[in-house]
Chain A
Amino acid sequence: SAVISQKPSRDICQRGTSLTIQCQVDSQVTMMFWYRQQPGQSLTLIATANQGSEATYESGFVIDKFPISRPNLTFSTLTVSNMSPEDSSIYLCSVDPLLLGKGNTEAFFGQGTRLTVV
């Protein structure tokens, strides 16, 4: 397993501002991911954070809105830019420490960042 620390755990932000969420893992992992969980909804993948290169975004998510950094194998940040109330969600970082060509995926999640935009 992996221990994932995410901060802040929650924040209330003004519309038009940006918030950077940090994700720290206690071991080196190849794959890191960012998910969004809107109120009362399930999880939707935003992007894969690639170490040393640009993140890979899923359909409906763009780099200008959700810039991601991955400077090393234990750390990543997600920024929610120019926020609007529609961005109010839980943002979750996850890692898959077992994914090394084994074909299986077992994700471990941080506790999430609950963002409210007012």
Chain B
Amino acid sequence: RKEVEQDPGPFNVPEGATVAFNCTYSNSASQSFFWYRQDCRKEPKLLMSVYSSGNEDGRFTAQLNRASQYISLLIRDSKLSDSATYLCVVIGGYSTLTFGKGTMLLVSP
């Protein structure tokens, strides 16, 4: 089983739609969780951290279920500019990031 698994997509949605991505991780000792966004041929950029209590940042909501080892990202009211690859990231020791393969989102007019 891969350490971090994501559906690669692509997810094709119209502007204004709500879309959700899921991610599972295998190491129950994982300590911290994040979503990064990566535009085509660019570097990953931190989108948001994921907390056990769930957290929201504008149109984005992230949730963590430690019992099921599952992380989610919900995007409401999708914009064209949301088109990107969303990377699920898990941290073990020493701040090393373990990335999923990413889920591609394409938002169309």
A associates with B: no
| Chain A positions near chain B (C-beta within 8 angstroms) | none
